Chains A and B, each alone.
Chain A
Amino acid sequence: MFDYAIKNILKRKTRSVLTIIGIMVLINLVIVISGIVSYQKRVMHEHASAGVGKIMVQSMLAGINYPTASINLKESLADEILNRDDIQDPISGKVIYWQIEPPPYPNEPPQLLITGVEIGKEAAFTGSISHQTRAAFGSANFSNSIFELPIIMGHQAKQFLEGKQRKQFNIGGGFKLLDTNFTVIGFLEPSSDKVVNNSLIIPLSIAQKILEKQEFISSVILFPQRIDDKQYIIEDIRQKYPKLNLVTDDTISRNAEEGIKLFEQMVGAISTVVILGAAILILTVMLITIKERTREIGVLRAIGASNKIVISSILWEIFILSAVGSVLGGLISGIVLRYFLLENLFNFWHILKYMPLAVVLTLVSGIIPAIRISRILPVESLRYE
């Protein structure tokens, strides 16, 4: 009865079009919201994996976030922590983080921040165990800089500022930050660590000065000599400094998971409600349609159509409306995710994953109409209106 369903849909154009638009809007909503969440999840995992091998030590108040929002760890205490043999000295060091632009989405690092690093130990921040973020242009470290106030821009930080200030930055050019005139000495290549990407990197001592945080830092980054040492170092520091927080890649990903879990549950609940709304929409439309068509269905039954046949024609109709609505909703959400958000979040597989919703919608909204239809008797064909 597929062809019969198609005819019914085409014959009742206004009803069909409005229903399809309704489904389209609701499906689009579900796909876009969940698209944002799954994108965030991916980013967080990348973010966490960027820190593989690192141990970060920060104050109790600083919590277990990376990057932490506070600058309250005594520098002298940091020096004491760094004074050990089982870490790689050149890539272990002190850092300061200072947010300039808040995160675009919750649970993400700031969109723009100042990161102060020790001269010669830039890699403690920009490196990970597997990868070192290099300079795309200029230099990725301050050691050979002839400038008094040098600054290195992370990939995203540069793009963000160029977009905002509508100008291009050049190596050797000036850049004003917190009333201080810096000289740009390097642009970094893109990194899998979003914090690095979004950072304006300056020497630690300058950061302390312009932020008026002399003798304080945000976090100490430690790289173990050997990966096997990591657990021992963690235990050792925990024992010696019970009042400090230790952050590792595990903590970061656990943290991220927890942050996003609530969000995910919320989105799950919203999606369920929205899908239910779509089902109720179809249900209502179909019940009205069946009411209008009682006589027509009665005639079909009188001339020999089985219950199965008339039910299948209505279920086909519901499925076609749902499927067309879902596909259009998928298309629109693709456009929204691609062009209408701060970043391009388009992912074909994510959208495809939601297409079976048409089947779910058919099953959920088809039960009551099917029961209604099965109650229509052949005598209905004789009703005179």
Chain B
Amino acid sequence: MNNIISIRNVKKQYHLGKTIVEALRGINLGIEAGLYYSIIGPSGSGKSSLLNIIGCIDVPSEGKVVLQGRNIEGFTERELTRIRAEKIGFIFQNFNLNPILTAIENVAIAMRFIGKSKKICLQNARAALDQVGLSHRTNHYPNELSGGERQRVAIARAIVKKPSLILADEPTGNIDTKTGHEIIRLLRKINEKQNTTVIQVTHDLEIADLSDKLFKLRDGVIVD
């Protein structure tokens, strides 16, 4: 019962015009603190939908997401924002860095949202960039960085606030295999050193092998 998140019979439907897409058809799972999880499954199986719901970026159409002992349905928008700001670090497949901000500013801004001073934010951002091995790129804009470097900036942005949970949606999807493996090793290191729970979505079985636990998804349900 040391689950930080429990998902009970979660369903997710999308409305595409008149047709309804059933992305998740009843998911049950529990996430324990400090473990490294992988979600694998073919394209379109609902991996991103699930991750977004876990990350409080999206809400389920049906079912319960229990966080800190409370169903998230009961959270106000402000509380959800606070949880995203303080507890969750999100890493996107396509990086989602802000093109008008430098690497260090992209990282620092994530800390501004938890009410830290600009100076503290920049200090921590520098440390986070150091941790992902990018201390020599702090003042570069995203379009001056390689794919691997961009994803490292995104990881720095996710870890700068020391979240309890890191969610990574195909973090290696847009970068070459070798760099991808480096990124995963980095995430694993963060997981081990800081005891941060990590949930990653991936296609790559080799990458999935690194994790403590594996969820296989097919057509919106977890198989074995």
Q: Which residues of A contact B (CB under 8 A)?
A: 3-4, 7-8, 11, 295-296, 299-307, 309, 378-379, 381-382, 384
Contact = CB atoms under 8 A, between A and B. Distances in A.
B174 to A, nearest CB: 11
Contact of A306 (B81, B96, B109, B118): B81
Given A11-B100, A304-B114, A384 B94 contact: yes
B186 interface: no
B57 A382 contact: yes
Nearest to A380: B57
Contacts, number: 65
Contacts of B57: 302, 378-379, 381-382
Interface size class of B (residues with CB under 8 A): 20 to 34
B52 A379 contact: yes
Interface string B39-77: 000000000100010011110000000000000000001
Contacts of A305: 81, 85, 113
Contact of B81 (A4, A11, A307, A381): A307
A-B complex: 7 closest residue pairs judged by Cβ atoms: A304-B85, A304-B113, A11-B100, A378-B57, A304-B84, A299-B96, A306-B81
A347 B99 CA distance: 45
16 contacts: A3-B118, A4-B109, A7-B100, A11-B100, A295-B96, A301-B81, A302-B57, A302-B96, A303-B158, A304-B84, A304-B86, A306-B85, A378-B56, A378-B58, A381-B92, A381-B96
B78 interface: yes
Nearest to A8: B100
Contact of B92 (A4, A8, A309, A382): A382
A118 to B, nearest CB: 79
B98 interface: yes
B155 to A, nearest CB: 12
B126 interface: no
Contacts of B103: none
A306 B92 contact: no
B153 interface: no
Contact of A382 (B48, B78, B89, B110): B48
B108 to A, nearest CB: 10
A307 B118 CA distance: 20
A107 B85 CA distance: 65
Contacts of B98: 296, 299-300
B157 interface: yes
A302 B86 CA distance: 12
Contacts of B161: 304
Contacts of B89: 303
Contacts of A4: 109
Q: Which among B81, B110, B114 has the highest number of chain A CB atoms within 10 Å?
A: B81
B101 A7 contact: yes
Q: Which among B84, B89, B118 has the highest number of chain A CB atoms within 10 Å?
A: B84
Nearest to A295: B96
A307 B113 CA distance: 11
Nearest to B89: A303
Q: Which among A8, A299, A303 has the highest number of chain B CB atoms within 10 Å?
A: A303
A77 B94 CA distance: 97
A304 B96 contact: no
A302 B109 contact: no
Contacts of A381: 57, 92, 96
B56 to A, nearest CB: 8
A382 B113 contact: no
B183 to A, nearest CB: 18
B37 interface: no
Nearest to B100: A11
A378 to B, nearest CB: 4
A300 B94 CA distance: 15
A302 B90 contact: yes
Contacts of A8: 100
Interface string B111-152: 011100010000000000000000000000000000000000
B55 to A, nearest CB: 8
Contacts of B81: 301, 304-307
